[in-house]
Amino acid sequence: PHVGVFDTAFHQTLPPHAFLYAVPYDLYTGHGIRRYGFHGTSHRYVSEAAAEMLGRPPAEVNVITAHLGNGCSITAVQGGASVDTSLGMTPLEGLVMGTRSGDIDPAIVFHLMRKLGMDADEVDDLLNRRSGLLGLSGVSNDMREVLRAAEAGSDRAHLAIEVFCYRLKKYVGAYTVVLGRVDALVFTGGIGENSADIRSRTCAGLERLGYVLDAGRNAADSRAPRDVAAADSPIRILVIPTDEEALIARDTARMARGM
């Protein structure tokens, strides 16, 4: 048997008020223009792993999961179901990414076409392949190289990091309001799992919302799932390595048993 895995599947629980864009409704009904979300397998895996770390079933846990790599997305998970996510109809919306812009004013597209004479393919290339960390820093799409450049004195690299973390922080705040009660914030993906600096910059200022990072725990070098929140933090801050392949294998085995 063959099993098809769709990275959008976890986000099929999004309510209409979260997945609809404020454009003519017939663009949704006739052309499927809506938010679909991506990285669903990763968000599901780490949200379930977070519930296990908290010692509670997924149905009783509300978590915010941040998948941060060359592609980045953040998801609000309520009782095991995705209720909002940053990536939209395509993987271009939302957070700042390695080469993708994330959220921008849509009219920038018209400006680029009218004022700079760019066609649709050129704008597509600019926003998907020449923006994000690469476009802002002028250094790289790799956060490790951008961090090194910032340490070496690059103002643009420092600014790229600030924009990246500021955008992420805004989404954490927004999804905290969406969920009402948050049990854990989860960092995953290459950046989320390995960059203590990005985790620290993101959580700075979120203490009033209940996110209190422990500097020592956060800085500890480990590849294991771990809690890096302060002991008295109202909300746990977890670092969980994602394992999409394991989740796909488990789902495949379950489906095979049911055939």
Residue 7 among the catalytic residues: yes
Tokens 């004195």, residue?
153
- C-alpha span between 203 and 107 (Å, rounded): 31
Tokens representing 182? Answer: 């948050």
Under DSSP, the state recorded for 259 is -
- Is 83 in contact with 18 (CB distance < 8 Å)? yes
Contact 186, 172 (CB under 8 A): no
Q: What is the C-alpha to C-alpha distance for residues 157 and 200, in angstroms, rounded to an integer?
A: 17
* CA dihedral for 206, 208, 212, 215, sign (positive or negative): positive
CA neighbor of 19 nearest in space, from 117, 64, 85: 85
Residues 66, 192 contacting (CB under 8 angstroms): yes
Of 7, 125, 214, 251, which residue is the catalytic one? 7
Integer Cα distance of 106 and 110 in angstroms:
8
Task: Please list the active-site residues.
Answer: 7
